[in-house]
Amino acid sequence: MLAAMAALWPAPGGAGAATAALPTAQAEAAAERGRVTGLPVPRYVSLKASRANVRRGPGTDFPIDWVYTKRGVPLEVTAESNHWRRIRDHEGDGGWIWHTLLDGTRSAIVTGDAAADDAPADTPVALHDAPAPDADVVAYLEPGLVAGLRGCKAGWCRLEVQGRNGWAPQDRLWGVYPGEEFD
C-alpha cells in the first residue's frame, strides 16, 4: 500500500556520488510450520506480481479489501489455508492472497533512521559499503523505499536497490526479524 516510490540519494562524495530478538536458530525452532507448505509461519516473502488482490478470507467468494500495485513489496505470511496465504504488510494491514502471487525472494522496506533520539522517523538511512557505522556511505535511502534483501549478519543487512549495493542497519528495515541472520 505504498502511495509513491521513495527515493535513493547518492552520498555526497560517495561511490557514484514488539518481540525480543532471538538468535536465528532459536527463532526458527520457535516458528510453527505451515500446514500446507511445511515452511515456517510467520515468514517474510515478497510480492511477485505487480497487481494482487487482498481478500477478507481465503477464497474468491470473499470480498477484495484492497489491491497491491507494487511488485517486490515485502509481506509477512502469518497463516496458510490450501492455496491461500494470510499476509501482513509493513503498515500492519492484513488479508488473504493467492499463493502464486508471492515469491520467496526477500525484500525490505526502509523505515527511517532514528539512530539519534531527536531524529524524525522520516530521516534517510545511510547505505554503507561495509557492515559498519564508520564505513563509507554510498547512498541515502528514503523511508518507504523497497530494496532487495540479500542477507543479514550481526545487525546489518546487505541491500540491492536501483543498481547500488551496500549495508544498512537491520533495525531500520521492515522485512527481516530482529536478530535474523542469513546469506
Domains of the chain by range and CATH? 8-14+108-174 (2.30.30.40), 24-107 (2.30.30.40)
Give the separation between CA 123 and CA 111, rounded to whole angstroms.
Answer: 9
Cβ-proximal residues to 1 (8 Å cutoff; 6+ apart), any chain: 66, 68, 89, 91, 93
Give the separation between CA 94 and CA 166, rounded to whole angstroms.
Answer: 30
Q: How confident is the model over 23-62, as pLDDT tens digits? A: 454 455 456 898 889 999 999 999 999 999 999 999 999 9
CB 41 within 8 A of CB 162: no
How many residues make up the chain in this entry?
A: 183
What is the share, in percent, of the chain residues with pLDDT greater than 90? 74
Cell 536478530 appears where?
Answer: 179
Cell of 106: 526477500
Cα torsion 100, 104, 105, 108 to 10°: value is: 100
- Partnered with residue 88 across adjacent β-strands are 76, 94
The 8-class DSSP code of residue 30 comes to H
Burial group, residue 100, by CB count within 10 angstroms (0-12, 13-18, 19+): exposed
Q: How confident is the model at residue 143 (pLDDT cuts 50, 70, 90)?
A: very high
Which pLDDT value is given to residue 8?
Answer: 52
Q: Is the pTM of this model over 0.85?
A: no
Give the separation between CA 154 and CA 31, rounded to whole angstroms.
Answer: 21
3-state SS assignment for residue 179: coil
Instruction: Residue 111: name the closest of 27, 176, 51 by CA.
Output: 176
Q: How confident is the model over 100-131, as pLDDT tens digits? A: 999 999 999 999 765 545 666 678 999 999 99
